[in-house]
A and B are shown apart, each in its own frame.
Chain A
């Protein structure tokens, strides 16, 4: 092997090993420090101690994050599915479809803090809605719509165009074909796209900081109540220096929940 090629190969293998090692080490670090701290009490109790959070568990934060994920996913699905159908089957001009794609691609990279600022200004300051699970989920929905819609567009594109046209040529309406043929066959990949969006939302901190997440709740939140969420709880534990141990454990729980969603979705997506 020539010397310059050898250098290239060294660089390639070196970075590959280093990058994989760093990425896996980061996960392992949380597992190593957080894993042993997980107890039944930690998962099932409310935060306790003074200040709140230095003792006890994170039960309301787990429930809050799951509710937030579900609410965001359902609201985003209601918007994203028609939007993706329109982009794939709406017979729109090239120009219009480029316009949609550009907007969605651009906005899928919108920094989460801007979404948080937008949601806080419009919902809390302008409309005067109380900080709640609902207002936080609406904010997160704005964040995940481009993420989910772009994936759904890809999923719907995979349904064969000829089959769709064959159904049209029997005099069936587009919406009947969507509801009874396109969506059922896209169900698996579509749900996995929506779940990935939910996972993305559940990991976000900045958008919910001022739109609904709080330090402590006494009960399972209603849709109009403020709520506890894992990422925000973790941030407070770390930032205020309340308890490093509980921070590791909280990070572990959050990471496990999100990685599980990710693995399941990819496994489902990979099978079809």
Chain B
């Protein structure tokens, strides 16, 4: 056996296992760093508490406004993006020639590569003033603006995934349906969409988890005030809180630990949604269906 073989065959599993260890370590690290805050206040108090005063003599780490701001913005962005995204997928699947479909999909793919700081900048320059004048607000920085910007960020993701699953089912049923004299649009409505429902829901779940974690774009237009979130008012979602405060925390303070509790919430949502998707795709694979996600 050559020496170089020995080197390569040794390094390959070592690298793979260390990657696995790195990410498991990352999750554990976050849990460990969050621990002091979870001892200081209980889970329940943190989740339901409304006051975020991490620098006080006895820090108060209430995350409820912050978590609900995150959920509010993300759900609202899904409300904008889902109908548009699914509609676009149907349009791409049925309404245009394969060449145009390919062109649109690659354009969308490319635009998904625009960094969120640029999207946030556009939001600040376009969306915020528009919201401000439309509702005659003192500032347009609000949940509404953030959700619109966020919808832009998750649209490419939704369109790519939905088109993929809709195409899978369309190609599977189209020939048979056409043979029976059913129009493509009716096939889409009666057969394809109901079959693709599961995977569309799953891609919305994944899009939701992406939206929860989106940092820069939201942070630049949401106003960042940890108050009770309302549609036209400022708010401070979890990623903004972490990004704004992590630079100034004292290492190993309760404030520091409190940020990790917020991080842990995001991490839990991420893992939960992924487990959900994994279980679904496992089930469909076992049922002998083609894997769609």
Q: Which 6 A-B pairs have the closest CB atoms?
A: A111-B213, A203-B115, A15-B87, A16-B91, A175-B8, A12-B91
B188 — which chain A residues lie within 8 A by C-beta? 8
- In the complex, whether A70 has a CB less than 8 A from a CB of chain B is no
> A113-B239, A238-B121, A258-B113 are contacts. A13–B95 as well, Cβ < 8 Å?
yes
Surface stretch bound by B, among A56-64, A79-87, A159-167, A218-226? A79-87
Residue in chain A with minimal CB distance to B264? A114
Contact with A along B10-29 (1 / 0, CB 8 A): 01111110111011101001
Chain A: how many interface residues by the 8 Å CB criterion?
Answer: 86
A102 — which chain B residues lie within 8 A by C-beta? 274, 278
Q: Interface residues of B: mostly helix, strand, loop or mixed? A: helix
- In the complex, whether A242 has a CB less than 8 A from a CB of chain B is no
A113 touches B213 (CB 8 A): yes
- In the complex, whether B146 has a CB less than 8 A from a CB of chain A is no
- In the complex, whether A18 has a CB less than 8 A from a CB of chain B is yes
> In chain A between 117 and 162, which residues have their CB closer than 8 angstroms to a CB of chain B?
117-118, 120-122, 125-126, 142, 145-146, 149
- In the complex, whether B220 has a CB less than 8 A from a CB of chain A is yes
> In chain B between 54 and 106, which residues have their CB closer than 8 angstroms to a CB of chain A?
83-88, 90-92, 94-96, 104, 106
A262 — which chain B residues lie within 8 A by C-beta? 109-110, 113
Residue in chain B with minimal CB distance to A266? B106
- In the complex, whether B41 has a CB less than 8 A from a CB of chain A is no
- In the complex, whether B111 has a CB less than 8 A from a CB of chain A is yes
- In the complex, whether A109 has a CB less than 8 A from a CB of chain B is yes
Chain B: how many interface residues by the 8 Å CB criterion?
Answer: 89
Known interface pairs A112-B215, A117-B246, A258-B114; 11 further A-B residue pairs with C-beta atoms within 8 A, sorted by A's residue number: A9-B95, A23-B107, A29-B122, A87-B16, A111-B213, A114-B267, A126-B251, A173-B2, A175-B4, A175-B12, A200-B113
Distance from B104 Cβ to chain A, minimum over Cβ atoms (Å): 6
A259 touches B113 (CB 8 A): yes
- In the complex, whether B212 has a CB less than 8 A from a CB of chain A is yes
A259 — which chain B residues lie within 8 A by C-beta? 110, 113-114
A142 touches B87 (CB 8 A): no
* 17 intermolecular pairs with C-beta atoms under 8 Å apart: A8-B90, A9-B95, A14-B87, A23-B111, A26-B111, A85-B12, A90-B13, A100-B20, A104-B23, A109-B213, A110-B270, A113-B242, A117-B263, A199-B113, A210-B247, A255-B114, A258-B115
